[in-house]
Homo-oligomer: A and B are copies of this chain.
Amino acid sequence: MRVAVMTAPGQVHVEDRPEPRIVEPTDAIIRLAATCICGSDLWPYRGVEPVDEPRPMGHEYAGIVEEVGPAVTTVRPDQFVVGSFFASDNTCEICRSGYQSSCVRREAAAPGGAQAERMRVPLADGTLIATPDLPADDLVPSLLAASDVLGTGWFAAVAAAAGPGRTVAVVGDGAVGLLGVLAAQQLGAERIIAMSRHKSRQKLAIEFGATDIVTERGDAGVAAVKDLTDGLGAHSVIEAVGTQESMMQAIHATRPGGRVGYVGVTHNVALPGMELFFSHVHLHGGPAPVRRFLPDLIDRIWTRRIDPGKVFDLELPLDQAPEGYRAMDRRDAIKVLLRP
Q: Is A102 an interface residue (CB 8 A)?
A: yes
A94-B232, A99-B257, A101-B280 given; A273·B274 CB < 8 A:
no
B273 with A102: CB separation less than 8 A: no
Contact of A291 with B by CB under 8 A: no
Question: Within residues 91 to 114 of chain A, which ones have a CB less than 8 A from any CB in chain B?
Answer: 93-94, 97-99, 101-102, 104
How near does chain B come to A283, taking the closest CB pair, in angstroms?
4
Helix, strand, loop or mixed for chain A's interface? mixed
Do residues B273 and A266 form an inter-chain contact, with CB atoms below 8 A?
Answer: yes
| Range for the number of chain A residues in contact with chain B | 35 or more
A277–B287 CB distance below 8 A: yes
Chain B residues with Cβ below 8 Å from A101 are: 280
| B232 and A93 form a contact (CB under 8 A) | yes
Bound-state CA distance A312–B277 (Å) is 26
A59-97 interface mask toward B, CB cutoff 8 Å, 1 = contact, 0 = none? Answer: 000000000000000000000000000000000011001
- Known A-B contacts A102-B257, A286-B279; the reply to A266 vs B274 at CB < 8 A is yes
Give the residue name and chain of the B residue nearest to A281 (CB).
B284
- Nearest Cβ on chain B to A260's Cβ, whole angstroms: 9
Instruction: Tell me if B270 and A278 are in contact (CB < 8 A).
Output: no
**Is B280 a contact of A269 with CB atoms below 8 Å?**
no
Q: Using Cβ atoms and an 8 Å threshold, which residues of chain B touch A58?
A: none
C-alpha gap A265/B273 in the complex (Å): 8
Chain B min CB distance to A163 (Å): 14
User: A271 an interface residue at 8 Å Cβ cutoff?
Assistant: yes
Contact of A257 among B94, B104, B230 (CB under 8 A): B94
Minimum CB distance partner of A259 in chain B = B284
Contact yes or no, A272 B270, CB < 8 A: yes
Taking the nearest CB of chain B, how far is it from the CB of A268, in angstroms? 7
| A13 contacts the other chain (CB 8 A) | no
- The residue in A99, A101, A230, A277 that gathers the most chain B C-beta atoms within 10 A of its C-beta is A277
CB < 8 Å neighbour of A280 from B231, B278, B282, B286: B286
Write out, one digit per residue, whether chain A residues 239-255 have a CB within 8 A of any chain B CB (1) or not (0). Answer: 00010100100000001
Q: Which of B256, B273, B279, B280 contacts A271 (CB 8 A)?
A: B273
Q: Closest residue to A257 on the B side, CB-wise?
A: B99
13 A-B pairs besides A99-B256, A269-B273 with CB distance below 8 A are: A93-B230, A99-B280, A101-B280, A102-B256, A102-B278, A104-B231, A262-B277, A266-B274, A267-B273, A269-B274, A270-B270, A276-B283, A278-B286
Can you name 13 A-B residue pairings with CB atoms under 8 Å? A93-B230, A94-B257, A102-B278, A104-B232, A262-B277, A266-B277, A270-B270, A271-B271, A271-B273, A271-B276, A276-B283, A277-B287, A278-B287
